[in-house]
Amino acid sequence: MVESSKANYLKTFGEDMKIVYLSRSVIPSRAANSINVMKMCHAMASLGHDVTLLGHFKTDEIKACSFYGVTPIFRSLSIPSISGHATDGPYIFGSWIRALELKPDLAYGRSLETCLLTALSGIPTLFEAHKFPKTVLANFCARLLFRLPAFVGLVVITKKLAELFVRQGFLDPPRILVAPSGACHHESNNSSRSKILEMIPPEARNFDLQVGYTGHLYPGKGMEIISQLAPLAPWAYFHIIGGRDEDVSFWKARIGRLPNVHFYGFVPPSLAPAFREIFEVALAPYQKKVRNSGTGIDTGDNISPLKVIEYMSAGLPVMASNLESIGEIIRHGETGFLIPPDDIDAWLRCLKHLRDNPEERKKIGLRARSVFLESYTWDARARKILSFVQAYLPAASASSTRNSISDGSGGARPNSSRAILSSSE
């Protein structure tokens, strides 16, 4: 009976899975989570899987894909929301009903409540967490989800976050996969380049070094450092791409009159690669406390340093804060530089060093891109996660003696597959 169930599993979770992605995203939007969702769905579909994304769409899927720079090779279904956010009750239950109708081989996503409902309904469910469930309700939902027979496993973006789930008694290490965020192969086209060139101030070319930052301007994201660094480095031109209108206005009022700083505001993700082509050095000056896109505060060690990986994809030398989560990706002096987040003198010394050593800039950027191509493309991330599904689903409810958190590299697997196999008998 067990062998028969295992054969069914291998048939179901082969090379052509039917996957429903349960998102909490409004699409299109400026939120980083929407980029992650669209890129992951595209990556899984490009690997040959039948992928359907459930989200709250404000436009048709062709325009949405164009906004994020992906091709429409997966289906997108919009779920109604009373509040306009992909977090209210009607949206959560609507997503669950659509998932039941689609009868997927795997439900995968970042909506904790919807993942709980699909697992309660017997659909094999993989949950991805970018932060720790701090509220009483989220804590309860996570603990319940992790104990259901249909629960496959947990994907997190940093080792620190994985260790927190283990330390708090949520899961044993084998049920957790650490998979940092990914990025696309750095590609731009002539149309994108032309648009970008029209946006760049002509005086920028007169400076010795082109320094770039992309991303939100929330507290803790790095403008605290850039606003101090720019006046001390009048020989460098700082290109600030991204941010909500109110955040751009806030920082413009403080440093917008400096001759070596330009704020571009928000640009569509599809144009970001062309912007990175004009950078010679890229900044990721995260602070120890970082405000997320909601209303909470994340510790810097639990952030998903997506911009760092995007910089690496462009072959850029990265100056980043020496936070634990970034240190999991950047090797100091080899693929970038890790600097104390609040030491402005150290940031200035490093920037001067890169200004004066263009060959070193080039070598570090090339090494960074090589590491990116090996480990941090969206396709590589999708393969790692789906391999984790294939390896761990048969033992999803079994206890294990393995003591290390998975990084997707293989190794010993849990021995007992009885619990999950019996559920499919």
Quick: pLDDT tens for 96-141.
Answer: 999 999 999 999 999 999 999 999 999 999 999 999 998 999 999 9
Sequence-distant (≥ 6) Cβ neighbours of residue 261 within 8 angstroms:
230, 237, 238, 240, 255
| pTM of the predicted model as reported, rounded to 2 decimal places | 0.81
pLDDT for 238 = 98
Mean pLDDT, the chain, as a whole number? 86
User: Using 50, 70 and 90 to split pLDDT, how confident is the model at 306?
Assistant: confident
Enumerate the β-bridge partners of residue 209: 236
**190-375 has CATH 3.40.50.2000 classification:** yes
pLDDT for 89 = 87
Whether the Cβ atoms of residue 240 and residue 213 lie closer than 8 Å to each other: yes
Domain positions in the chain are: 2-182+378-422, 190-375
The percentage of residues in the chain with a pLDDT greater than 70, rounded to a whole number, is 84
pLDDT for 2 = 29
Whether the Cβ atoms of residue 149 and residue 423 lie closer than 8 Å to each other: yes
CA 297 to chain centre: 17
For 53-84, write each residue's pLDDT tens digit. 999 888 888 888 888 888 999 999 999 988 87
b/e code 210-219 from CB counts within 10 Å (16+ = b): bbbbbbbbbe
Whether the Cβ atoms of residue 254 and residue 227 lie closer than 8 Å to each other: yes
The percentage of residues in the chain with a pLDDT greater than 90, rounded to a whole number, is 66
For 362-419, write each residue's pLDDT tens digit. 999 999 999 999 999 999 999 999 999 987 665 443 333 344 566 655 443 333 222 2
Average pLDDT in the 297-308 region? 73
pLDDT for 330 = 96
pLDDT for 7 = 34
| Reported CATH class of domain 2-182+378-422 | alpha beta
pLDDT for 191 = 67
